[in-house]
Amino acid sequence: MIKSKLCYSDLKTVNASFTHRLSREQFLPVAYMYMYMSREMDTRFRELFRKGHVKGTVIISTGNEATTVGMSLPFRSGKDILSILHRDLGAHLVFGMPPLSIFCQYMANENSPTHGREGNVHFSDASKRRFPMISHLGNMMAPTVGGVWGARFNGEDVFGLTTIGDGGSSTGDFHESINLAAVLKTPVVFLIENNGYAYSTPVKNQYACKNLSDRAVGYGIEGITIDGTDPWVVYSTICDSLEAMAKDRMPRLIESMTLRLEGHAAYDNAEYVLDAEKQEWLEREPLKRARTDLLALGYDEEEVTSLENEISAMIQADIFEALKFARPSFQKQNWDVFAPVNHKKVQPYTIEKTRNLTAINAALDFCMQEHNDSVIVGQDIGVYESPFKSCKGLYKKYGAKRVVDLPVCESATAGFCLGASQTGVKPVMEFQFADFSTEAVTQIGLNAGTWYFRTGLGAPILFRLPCGGGITVGMFHSGEFDGLWTRFPGLKVFYPVTPQECYEAIVGAFHDPNPCLVMEHKLLYWSKQDSIDFDGDLSKIDRPRCYTQGNDLTIVALGAMVESALTVINKFSYSVQLWNPFILNPIYLGPILESVKTTGKLLVIQESGETAGIGDKIISTVTRECFRELTCTPKLVSAPDIPVPFAKELETFYIPSQERIRVAIETMIGAKSE
Ligand SMILES: Cc1ncc(C[n+]2csc(CCOP(=O)(O)OP(=O)(O)O)c2C)c(N)n1
Ligand SMILES: [Mg+2]
């Protein structure tokens, strides 16, 4: 056997990726080096926590080193798509994260990779295709699938690794993501780190199957349970899987039986674990075992100790270094939640007469035509051309590779889009009804919405939400959700009303580097015909739209309420200004404020319930900004705070009627100064 030199600088340069598969003799020194480093850092984290240098939830990887190091060495950082979780310190080290950065992250100082904004374990480097975790267990799995799918869409031969605990394996996204990867034949290793506990919950309360890998059969893929305390077993299994995936492209489910030798986090002393079980764990302790294996290969005690001392000294030096950095400064941070938009000019579009639905279809067609890397995903959008037919002709024109019917899994689909947006694909996701977007609140609102803030990278995704009532489809198919979706920093929300606005919203949102939602009121899909005359200048679209001129009152209406208000205004020839903010988040009310300053009065009309919509936000802003100019109290006309009822008579009562709008306008016009 040719022995490696046991020193950090030599061992860290060894290429152990699956295409350079190492022998056990070559592998063990490298694995031990990373395992030892991970353990040593964990020890120091706890110490720094006790001394008050590290705060928050200090979660450590002690006992999990064989799994984290064995699973990560076969992957190619910067090429493969990797998203690892809170007990994967060893994998961060293998993927090249410098220990100094990690200490800074834990200390939340100025030099921390998240600028002190994010918790200890929530770091990574998205620019190298290592997606940073969010807390919600299971929600990094779908982005990994999307990332691999996107890179492969563009011809790259890549794979994915995503990890989950035994607890996290009970989340919906776990199931949705594996199923999605299997259906799309996307080669991702789903690795379950089964350490027997989720916080204090033992696995008997988590699942009822024998092995978690048994679930693989339900997805039509291969699954295996392995000893996660032996790095060589983990490494070899992953290498085998990658070699097999290169042939059949199917994902793999690997359950690694690992250990959590401490409590869930620094504050948990794991009193709920029986002494006998703790004893059993110590017997399987992976670091001790890897050390024994290394000595058995012929390395002597002195060589191994020298490597350990070298690493400990390095870590000590990094801690000293990390302690020197200043605390983060609120003033010095970039607090932008939106990626900067590089406004561009696109092809102009003119049409004499069209409706919202055909305008949206034309805009989608334009985006698909202009960008070969754009895809539309959703349910029944292919051959069926979507339930409202907004995808008419697109499947025929662009084929199954770019108009992709997916399973019923909104959360995983949204996460998938986030991942794909990171590997060169421009995804458009259609929801059948806006109501089903609640399935994807975490993925859209928390994962995609915070992406730029967390990573400094854009996440260009267009989510299309057919929304609103008036077509008698009941409370689960009629929601508007403007209140919900405007709550998330980092998400742009468009609410177009006319065909021209629909065209501009779709094309504008598509070209935006941020995740954008376009609310498409279903009732307006087929309403009035109108012309489109769009000069292609996207820099001009971010502005409220005005439909009528007048002096007596400023009206802000949303969605189908614009049309109702317009009908009433035209019928009675009121002298009022009717506005639609067009972009609800980040809302820009400049011209509307100017309007209120001239009319002195504001009426807001929204279809959502009183507390569920953005109307109150508009009123409060106007009240603050135009307080002196207001001559009477602003008024909100909205639906009541009840679910949207089904029967026509009840729905008609629910949605603000033209008569209610007329009365509100007349009351306000007639209102005396207060
Ligand atoms: C969706 C969600 N629910 C609850 C939590 C709180 N939480 C954080 S870690 C954890 C236990 C996770 O256990 P497991 O998945 O087995 O991973 P382990 O910590 O054992 O590695 C829980 C419940 C969370 N992060 N996400
Ligand atoms: Mg666990």
The predicted model scores a pTM of 0.97
**Which residue lies with its CA nearest to atom 1 of ligand 1?**
136
CB atoms within 10 A of CB 667: 12
Helix axes 356-370 and 499-511, enclosed angle (nearest 10) = 30
- Transcribe 291-316 into DSSP letters: HHHHHHTT--HHHHHHHHHHHHHHHH
Q: Is 198 in the pocket of ligand 1 (CB under 6 A)?
A: yes
Q: Kindly report, residue by residue over 181-232, the tens digit of the pLDDT.
A: 999 999 999 999 999 999 999 999 999 999 999 999 999 999 999 999 999 9
Q: Which ligand is nearest to the CA of 446?
A: 1
How many Å lie between the centroid of ligand 1 and the Cα of residue 168?
A: 6
Q: Is 165 in the pocket of ligand 1 (CB under 6 A)?
A: yes
- Both tokens assigned to 552: 């007596």
Q: Is 442 in the pocket of ligand 1 (CB under 6 A)?
A: no
**pLDDT for 612:** 81
Q: Kindly report, residue by residue over 16-62, the tens digit of the pLDDT.
A: 999 999 999 999 999 999 999 999 999 999 999 999 999 888 999 99
The runs of H, that is alpha helices, within 301-448 are: 301-324, 356-370, 394-398, 410-421, 441
- Both tokens assigned to 204: 């008997």
How many Å lie between the centroid of ligand 2 and the Cα of residue 165?
A: 5
Q: Is 197 in the pocket of ligand 1 (CB under 6 A)?
A: yes
Rounded to an integer, the average pLDDT of 6-13 is 95
- Tell me the residues surrounding ligand 2 (ion) with CB < 5 Å: 165-166, 195, 198
Q: Which atom of ligand 1 approaches the CA of 193 most closely?
A: 21
Q: Kindly report, residue by residue over 281-293, the tens digit of the pLDDT.
A: 999 999 999 999 9
How many Å lie between the centroid of ligand 1 and the Cα of residue 64?
A: 15
Q: Is 137 in the pocket of ligand 1 (CB under 6 A)?
A: yes
Q: Kindly report, residue by residue over 528-576, the tens digit of the pLDDT.
A: 899 999 999 999 999 999 999 999 999 999 999 999 999 999 999 999 9
Q: Which atom of ligand 1 approaches the CA of 166 most closely?
A: 16
- Residue pair 605/661 in contact (Cβ under 8 Å)? The answer is yes
Q: Kindly report, residue by residue over 99-115, the tens digit of the pLDDT.
A: 999 999 999 999 999 99
C-alpha to C-alpha distances, 82 to 98, 111, 545, nearest whole angstrom: 17, 23, 43
How many Å lie between the centroid of ligand 2 and the Cα of residue 164?
A: 8
**pLDDT for 673:** 46
**Which residue lies with its CA nearest to atom 26 of ligand 1?**
136
Q: Is 135 in the pocket of ligand 1 (CB under 6 A)?
A: yes
Using CB atoms within 10 A of its CB, is residue 610 exposed (0-12), middle (13-18) or buried (19+)? middle
Model confidence band, residue 343 (pLDDT cutoffs 50, 70, 90) = confident
How many Å lie between the centroid of ligand 1 and the Cα of residue 566?
A: 52
- Both tokens assigned to 144: 């990994």
- Residue pair 188/162 in contact (Cβ under 8 Å)? The answer is yes
**Which residue lies with its CA nearest to atom 12 of ligand 1?**
198
- Residue pair 457/482 in contact (Cβ under 8 Å)? The answer is no
**pLDDT for 672:** 54
How many Å lie between the centroid of ligand 2 and the Cα of residue 187?
A: 24
Q: Which ligand is nearest to the CA of 168?
A: 1
Q: Summarize the chain as % helix, strand, coil (round to 5).
A: 45, 15, 40
Model confidence band, residue 674 (pLDDT cutoffs 50, 70, 90) = very low
Q: Is 199 in the pocket of ligand 1 (CB under 6 A)?
A: yes
Rounded to an integer, the average pLDDT of 249-267 is 96
Domains and CATH numbers, the chain: 60-91+127-303 (3.40.50.970), 349-540 (3.40.50.970), 545-670 (3.40.50.920)
| C-alpha atoms less than 13 angstroms from C-alpha of 520 in its C-beta half-sphere | 32
How many Å lie between the centroid of ligand 1 and the Cα of residue 259?
A: 15
Q: Is 174 in the pocket of ligand 1 (CB under 6 A)?
A: no
Q: Is 136 in the pocket of ligand 1 (CB under 6 A)?
A: yes
Q: Is 88 in the pocket of ligand 1 (CB under 6 A)?
A: no
For residue 175, pLDDT beyond 80: yes
Q: Is 68 in the pocket of ligand 1 (CB under 6 A)?
A: no
For residue 249, pLDDT beyond 60: yes
What is the C-alpha separation between 346 and 368, in angstroms, rounded? 13
How many Å lie between the centroid of ligand 2 and the Cα of residue 585?
A: 38
Q: Is 426 in the pocket of ligand 1 (CB under 6 A)?
A: no
**Which residue lies with its CA nearest to atom 13 of ligand 1?**
198
Indicate the range of 328-332, 363-367, 385-389, 517-521 predicted with least confidence.
328-332
Q: Which atom of ligand 1 approaches the CA of 137 most closely?
A: 26
How many Å lie between the centroid of ligand 2 and the Cα of residue 396?
A: 47
Model confidence band, residue 344 (pLDDT cutoffs 50, 70, 90) = confident
CB atoms within 10 A of CB 45: 25
Q: Average pLDDT of the chain?
A: 96
For residue 314, pLDDT beyond 90: yes
Model confidence band, residue 14 (pLDDT cutoffs 50, 70, 90) = very high
Q: Is 21 in the pocket of ligand 1 (CB under 6 A)?
A: no
**pLDDT for 410:** 98
Q: What 8-state DSSP symbol labels residue 73? A: T
For residue 2, pLDDT beyond 90: no
Q: Is 122 in the pocket of ligand 1 (CB under 6 A)?
A: no
For residue 383, pLDDT beyond 80: yes
**Which residue lies with its CA nearest to atom 20 of ligand 1?**
198
